Structure 1
Amino acid sequence: MTPGNNGASTPEDNDDPFGYLYADGQANGAQPPSGGYGYPNSVSRVRAVGQRQYGQQAPTASYGQVPQQGTHGQPNNHYAAPETLPGGTPTTRQHGQGGGGRGRGPNTKGLLIGAVAVVAAVVIGISIAMLGDSPDDKKDDAGASTAPTASQHPTTTPSATSSVAQDGELPKIDAKALHLTGTTTASDVKGAKADGGIYVAGFNHVGAKVSWTVNGIQKSGPYRLYVGYGIPGVDANATLVVNGQANPKPLNMANFSGQPAGDWEKGWQTTWALVNLNKGTNTIEIACNAGNQCNANLDQLSLKEG
């Protein structure tokens, strides 16, 4: 080939590997080279889309050939999805049937066991709570009652009440803790100093009495008994009994503050009387006997050395 000359229209000496693509080359007997893709010694490894199978070698197609399509409405083996071919990966989890296996359905057995355990725990808790109620607690609940109104007049309280003298301090007691005979407690009239404003009512008749048992008196001798009381602006009195012996003088519950007659709320006052106590335990009573003027309410009682 010389300068300025493009040469013949066909390859010379078959030096063009692509001569078989031209009409002149084909006329001169040019043949496509062996191998794939038109290149000498190339390797053909054509694999149809979706044809790969596990453990099998995909079929190859010669150069220039197109895999045949399947008939209308039927799948093409060359383009079938791996999961549709033998040995392919299954697309969905298959549950065993019959003797081959058991499907994993809802764990009803576990739920049933859990429900039974919860019910058992509740039953055990209720049983423990019922067993924990002691007879003493039930007795206390059965014996609990509200304070009677002023219209009620029990003949006596269940048991006498005692007070213990502390070192350097003598005891005192509220009306609701006294042993009552023929009287009751109330809180209708305001102004009582006892806890909750509760006082002894119904004292205005013969036979009415309150008792106080005092323990731990350190030495025998005279003491002052202070009595809180309320009157309707009219003088009152009562019989004072210490360790079974009546004092010669009545307990004076006069209208010291000069309150108007009929006003119970303004009639709360305090009086005192000398009593001789023994070392140890003593009983003090305030009684409405014949000849006494007992139209009064009783509040707190306390002792001081006289």
Structure 2
Amino acid sequence: MTPGDNGASKPEEDDPFGYLYADGQARGAQPPSGGYGYPNAVNRVRAVGERKYGQPQQAASTQAGAYGQPNSHYQAPETLPGGAPTSRQAMHSGGGGGRRGPNTKGLLIGAIAVVAAVVIGIGVAMLNGKDDDGKTGNQADASPTQSQEAPPSPKATSTASAGELPKADAVDDAVQLAGGAAPASAVKGSKSAGGSYVGGLNQVGASVTWTVDVPKSGKYTLNVGYGVPGKDANATLTVNGTSQNRPLNLANFAKAPEGDWERGWTHTWANLELQKGSNTVSISCGNGNQCDVNLDQFSLESGWR
């Protein structure tokens, strides 16, 4: 093609979009008959300002309406034939036969009833935990029953606190009596608790046995408080089942007149060999002994005199 005027051409040939403008339309520009790339396409390109909805065209300001006001040309889906109903319509349709919300009042009443039942149950449990006399159920009954009765326990062992050696009254639980020996209190002047002592030893076979516990094996001195009626006496001394070579001297060291028991209270001692732990020390009336004596108190010392 040579330079020059090739003749007037159609406006749509010069500008394929000329039909969109007023000057192009004045020159006879027309939109294409089909869609771009798709024959007989539904979406058609329209001229600027052209809008057809089956009703008269209105100004843009009228169509848009004031800010915040609904568009007069807008139709919500639920207003069209076959459109989906709104939730409000569904709830109120059918003459009020729709489903109502949860019954919160009924739920509140049910919760209050449950709490009241729990409180009542706790109160009943607390009342049942008491006896008729008001004592709680976890308190032990102070009155003994047949199942609580225990058999008599054996004589206890005299055990001194730390740094001390044992001592005991002749009537203590740690002292066992046999052969007619028995507690008495007729003679005044005994140093034992309550003025008691052990009498009835003036017969063969009568004995007093003291069970004592010592911290270590070794030599100990036995002290004995006793009373005689103004005359000398003696007894057999046995340690852990073995009789000593000499009898226990129970002389009238108080120099009381014969027959005067109250003035005859005095004391004596003897050397012993004891083993660590429990030991038995017996004073008994054997054949050849003079056993007219009352026994009052016992004690131990470490070492011999």
Supply the distance in 1 between the matched residues of 2:258 and 2:147 (Cα, whole angstroms): 48
The answer (yes or no) to whether the contact 1:186–1:199 under 8 Å persists in 2 is yes
TM-score between both structures, scaled by the size of structure 2: 0.51
Tell me the CA shift for residue 136 of structure 1: 8.4
**Aligned twin of 1:168:** 163
Cα-to-partner distance string for 1:214-237 (whole Å, 9 max, x where unaligned):
12x222111110001011001000
Q: Which runs of 5+ in 1 are unaligned?
A: 1-120, 144-157
Supply the distance in 1 between the matched residues of 2:237 and 2:195 (Cα, whole angstroms): 24
**Aligned twin of 1:240:** 237
- The percentage of counterpart residues that share the same residue type is 50
Q: Which runs of 5+ in 2 are unaligned?
A: 1-129
Supply the distance in 1 between the matched residues of 2:146 and 2:224 (Cα, whole angstroms): 36
In structure 2, relative to structure 1, the CA distance for the partners of 1:257 and 1:124 (3 Å cut) is: closer
Residue 277 (str. 1) matches residue 274 (str. 2):
yes
The answer (yes or no) to whether the contact 2:254–2:265 under 8 Å persists in 1 is no
Larger Rg: 2
**Aligned twin of 1:133:** 143
Q: For 1:90-239, what aligned pairs fall within 5 Å after superposition?
A: 123-125=132-134, 131-135=141-145, 139=149, 159-177=154-172, 178-182=175-179, 183-215=181-213, 217-239=214-236
Cα-to-partner distance string for 1:132-157 (whole Å, 9 max, x where unaligned):
424389748x98xxxxxxxxxxxxxx
What amino acid does structure 2 have at the position aligned with 1:170? L
Supply the distance in 2 between the matched residues of 1:252 and 1:302 (Cα, whole angstroms): 16
In the alignment of these two chains, the number of paired residues is 170
Cα-to-partner distance string for 1:125-182 (whole Å, 9 max, x where unaligned):
4998994424389748x98xxxxxxxxxxxxxx7333111322110101111111102
Deviates more, 1:261-270 or 1:126-135: 126-135
Tell me the CA shift for residue 288 of structure 1: 0.6
Other structure's SS at 2:194 match = helix
Supply the distance in 1 between the matched residues of 2:198 and 2:146 (Cα, whole angstroms): 29
What amino acid does structure 1 have at the position aligned with 2:203? H
Q: For 1:246-261, what aligned pairs fall within 5 Å after superposition?
A: 246-261=243-258
What amino acid does structure 1 have at the position aligned with 2:299? S
TM-score between both structures, scaled by the size of structure 1: 0.51
**Aligned twin of 2:283:** 286
Cα-to-partner distance string for 1:72-111 (whole Å, 9 max, x where unaligned):
xxxxxxxxxxxxxxxxxxxxxxxxxxxxxxxxxxxxxxxx
